[in-house]
Chains A and B, each alone.
Chain A
Amino acid sequence: LSEPSDPRETSRREDDELVRRARGGRADAFRSLYQKYQERVWATAYRIVGDRELASDLAQEVFVKAYEELTGFRGESSFSTWLYRIAANHAINKAGEIGRRTRLNEKFARERPDAAEPAGALDERVQRALGELSVKLRAVVVLRYLEGLSYEEIAETLDLSVGTVKSRLFLAHENLRPLLEDVRKDGTT
């Protein structure tokens, strides 16, 4: 009997094959990659910059950059980690630029989801609380809890040590405490 396959490992193997074909000039292979990851890239950017439209611009830039740099991708990390690295760093830089011009948490407070996609009250509270964190702490929280990356993957994505990831996460929890302590899972207080 064969071992049941690990879905992450299966996904990684599929990505490796798509990357190999995309590097060989197959447009359909690269299309499959961005169709698979575009929502994750967008969500990561959105949680970091707090703006849906800006997150869409960033998602486009991330995939264009991935297309340009695919020949330099050597497969030392998984394609998804490599892509998260481009997305997170792009979003962190953009959030830094915005933060220098305006208070980012004001932007987070103003941002509302599309009328057609009403987010719950909980989501709105969390998004506003994330806007109160520094972008470095916010990125770690987003990657860990909202995107489900391991500490090792976050360290690789953000070019940090695992210890730094954990200490940033600890600090983020402390900073979120006064903002989220009265929030229950249904979004009520």
Chain B
Amino acid sequence: MTESTRCELFRETAFDYLDGSLSRLDLAAFRRHFGECPACSEALRTIEGQAELLTALPRPAPPRDLAERVDRAVTDRRRLDQRPRPILKWAGLAAAAALLVAVVSALASAGPDRPRGGPTARTLRVVDVQLPGDPSVLGRLAPSYENPGGSLHGFLVSGPPSK
């Protein structure tokens, strides 16, 4: 075995030596080389000294607001999962619109004999459509009349109001 091969083996086993995990045979070879090679013995002293120095360092203290920042980031991310997906939102809007149209149509179909309190320009208003538990407005339903204060003609559906 050449000197450089022994040095290479030394490099490969230096950490096992320091951990005490070399076999008895390997340990003997390691020590023999360690005693004969000044460069390798110097390298081993360096490793031991630096390892001692580095492991003694305390973990650096994080900024005081770290916990709050991490908590906020994770909470914000979790909220994204809890919001209804757009397709569900539009399905909700469509269902709400269909229900409202059905109710008002039923009332409007009463014609001239409709009961008092039926849909007129005075009693029907613009309705914001929202999902239960969600304050955001998904869309608006507005009654449309043939003439001001006259009979109901239909409904206009619009998207969320602009901010």
Contacts and interface: CB of A to CB of B under 8 A. Distances in A.
The B contact surface, by secondary structure, is helix
Interface in A42-97: 42-43, 46-47, 52-53, 55-56, 59-61, 63-64, 67-68
Interface residues on A, range: 35 or more
B74 A38 contact: no
Interface in A18-50: 27, 30-31, 34-35, 38-40, 42-43, 46-47
Given A30-B74, A39-B66, A59-B66, A123 B57 contact: yes
A64 B77 CA distance: 7
Nearest to A53: B63
B61 interface: yes
Counting from the closest, the 6 A-B pairs by CB-CB distance are A145-B54, A60-B73, A42-B62, A117-B61, A43-B59, A173-B47
Interface of A: 27, 30-31, 34-35, 38-40, 42-43, 46-47, 52-53, 55-56, 59-61, 63-64, 67-68, 113-114, 116-117, 119, 122-123, 126, 141, 145-146, 148, 151, 163, 166-167, 169-170, 173-174, 176-177, 180-181, 183, 185
Interface of B: 11-12, 14-15, 43, 46-47, 49-67, 69-74, 77-78
23 contacts: A34-B71, A38-B62, A46-B60, A52-B63, A56-B69, A60-B70, A60-B73, A63-B74, A64-B73, A67-B77, A113-B61, A114-B61, A114-B63, A117-B61, A119-B60, A122-B53, A126-B57, A145-B51, A145-B55, A148-B55, A163-B12, A174-B46, A180-B53
